[in-house]
Amino acid sequence: MTTRRIAVIVGSLRKESFNRTLAQRFVERAPDTLALHILEIGDLPLYNQDDDASPHPNVVRFKREIEQADGVLFVTPEYNRSISGVLKNALDHASRPYGESVWAGKPAGIAGVSVGAIGTAAAQQHLRTILAYLDMPTLGQPEMFLKADAVFDDAGGLREDSREFVDTWLTRFAAWVEQHVAD
Ligand SMILES: Cc1cc2nc3c(=O)[nH]c(=O)nc-3n(C[C@H](O)[C@H](O)[C@H](O)COP(=O)(O)O)c2cc1C
């Protein structure tokens, strides 16, 4: 059995972030075939094309982490019906310089939790457009649109009826990664 390395990217920098909490639950519940690692994106500078020739060390590190991953799991909040600026910044950094994107071919999954009723659905649709351009095969079903008060208990644990869904989703994502991973 090969364990696939998954880079987990959380689109919120908030200390008490629901999306970071969800990512942590994913790390704990992932099947043995996946090793999930939450990456840091809050220390990346704002993307500036002038820096392409001499990227910041944190950008170099981030690109290396994506290169070393077999797949990527995005856990994103919805900001004004799209993804957050910090997530877009990370996506842009690792897509450049032109011709040196590290995203292409990496199988991807998307999840998100929101306080709003549509549970990040609009943000996830925007992210799918970006990932298609970046040439990342992205799991289509099941979709994971979560509402924070329905999914977490007061301690940040998954409520009982959410656990089965999360586990089913992780199993499907593991199969997706296995199907698309570049050997
Ligand atoms: C700038 C901003 C824009 C937001 N826009 C939306 C939105 O479009 N849809 C939504 O469901 N929630 C929206 N929210 C509320 C977020 O769902 C909520 O802040 C959530 O906790 C963010 O995720 P986090 O807990 O991982 O930080 C917005 C929050 C912020 C700070």
**In this structure, which residue's CA is closest to atom 3 in ligand 1?**
79
Rounded distance from Cα 79 to ligand 1 centre (Å): 5
pLDDT tens across 146-177, in order?
Answer: 999 999 999 999 999 999 999 999 999 999 99
Cα–Cα dist 52/11, whole Å: 23
Q: What is the pLDDT of residues 91-144, one digit of tens each?
A: 999 999 999 999 999 999 999 999 999 999 999 999 999 999 999 999 999 999
Does residue 67 surpass a pLDDT of 70? yes
Q: How many CA atoms lie within 13 A of 177 on its CB side?
A: 26
Strands (DSSP E) found in the chain: 4-10, 34-38, 71-75, 108-114, 145-147
CA of 172 relative to ligand 1 center, distance in Å: 27
Mean pLDDT for the stretch of residues 11-26:
98
At residue 36, the pLDDT reads 98
How many whole angstroms from 158 Cα to the centroid of ligand 1? 20
Q: What is the pLDDT of residue 70?
A: 98
Residue 129 token pair: 């457009």
Ligand 1 centroid vs 97 CA: distance in angstroms? Answer: 31
Mutate to test the pocket of ligand 1, among 21, 22, 41, 78 (most ligand atoms within 8 A of CB): 78
How far does the centroid of ligand 1 lie from the alpha carbon of residue 30, in Å?
A: 26
Q: Which atom of ligand 1 is nearest to the CA of 16?
A: 25
**Nearest-CA residue for atom 30 of ligand 1:** 79
Q: How far is the CA of 92 from the centre of ligand 1 (A)?
A: 21
Residue 77 CA to residue 66 CA, distance in Å, equals: 21
Using CA atoms, how far residue 95 sits from 9, 10, 135, 139, in Å, is 15, 17, 11, 20
Residues with beta carbon inside 6 Å of ligand 1? 12, 14, 17-19, 77-81, 114-116
Give the Cα-Cα-Cα angle 35, 4, 153 (nearest 5 degrees): 35
> How many residues can be counted in the chain?
183
**Residue 183: predicted pLDDT:** 60
Mean pLDDT, the chain, rounded, equals 97
